[in-house]
Chain A
Amino acid sequence: ETGVTQTPRHLVMGMTNKKSLKCEQHLGHNAMYWYKQSAKKPLELMFVYNFKEQTENNSVPSRFSPECPNSSHLFLHLHTLQPEDSALYLCASSQEVASGAETQYFGPGTRLLVL
C-alpha cells in the first residue's frame, strides 16, 4: 500500500457516458497528478495540482476534466470519450511539485475501456 487509493479499479463505458475517477491520498502531500498509461507507451502526464491549484495541463482534450476540491482528493471527470482513450489512468502524489529530492507515490490505477 502506497497511501494512494483509486476507485474504481476497472471501468467500462460507452462513448456517450459520463463517469468520474476518484483518487485519494493519505500521505499529507500537497501535489497530485493524473497520468495516462497506454500499452507499450511511456506514461503521459495529464494534469498537475499543487496546493489545490492546477499548475499543468498537458494539452489534454476537454473531454477530460479534472477537479481537486482539497489536497487529499483528486477527480477526473470523463464525458464523450473515444475508444483511443482506453488506458490505465494513474494518480500520484508528492510533497510538492518543485522538489528534486522526493519521489511520487502512485495509486493502483483505473483500467478504463471505452466501447
Chain B
Amino acid sequence: KQEVTQIPAALSVPEGENLVLNCSFTDSAIYNLQWFRQDPGKGLTSLLLIQSSQREQTSGRLNASLDKSSGRSTLYIAASQPGDSATYLCAVLDSNYQLIWGAGTKLIIKP
C-alpha cells in the first residue's frame, strides 16, 4: 500500500532564505508526483507536476525534483517571501490513478 510522508511537519524561516521541503513515498510504481499549496480557508492549488519519466520541474522560484528509485522528492523554494507561507502538500498518482497524499508541511516565512 502506497504511503507518502512529508518532513518536517512544520517549518519557520526568515524571509529571504532558500529552503527545501521533503516528500517520500514507499512504492515507486507511480504515474506522477505533484506538489500543491493550501492557504487557510482555501482549497489546494497545484504548483508543480513531475511525470514519472522526469527528474525535475521548475516554476519561477520553485523547483521540484523526483528520484523515483529512492522514493523521494524535494521542493526547493528560492529567496522565500512572506507570501510563501502556506501548507505544502505532496501527492503521488498511484497505479490505480488515485492521488495518495502526504500530511503536509506548514511553512511560515517570517518578515
Contact = CB atoms under 8 A, between A and B. Distances in A.
Given A43-B89, A101-B32, A103-B34, A4 B43 contact: yes
Contacts, number: 54
B99 interface: yes
A99 B101 CA distance: 17
The dominant DSSP class at the B interface is strand
Interface in B3-49: 4, 9, 31-32, 34, 36, 41-46, 49
A32 B14 CA distance: 39
Interface residues of A, number: 25
A37 to B, nearest CB: 9
Contact of B46 (A98, A104, A107, A108): A104
B98 interface: yes
Interface of B: 4, 9, 31-32, 34, 36, 41-46, 49, 51-52, 89, 91, 93, 97-104
